[in-house]
Amino acid sequence: MRVLLDESLPKKLKRELAEHTVATVPEAGWAGKKNGELLRMADAHFDVFVTPDRQIPSQQNLVGLRVGIIILRARSNDISDLLPLVPNLQATILRILPGQVLQVER
């Protein structure tokens, strides 16, 4: 799967998803883009967008998007708080459907 990590997530999270093609928002050249524009760009190039932003479903029009969105629910965006979510994140990446929004927590 082609996975895009939101810029608010630590780059170290990439290492935990080595079986996928993973890029961070800055690596894609999209740092600073607003969520609406970012999602449209991700939709054209990625299968999954991973973010800690719980507000995306209520703040963005997701109709017609094919990119799956995975929302990480952790205490913080620190890698130590995100690592316990990795097994569930990996499983969710494999089962998410195009356009689906799923949450991952411990």
Q: What is the largest CA-CA distance in the chain?
A: 35
Convert the pLDDT of each residue in 45-101 to its tens digit.
999 999 999 999 999 888 999 999 999 999 999 999 999 999 999 999 999 999 999
* pLDDT attached to residue 22: 98
Facing residues of 49 across strands?
4, 69
* pLDDT attached to residue 61: 86
Judge whether 45 and 26 are in contact, CB under 8 Å: no
- For residue 40, what pLDDT band results from cuts at 50, 70 and 90? very high
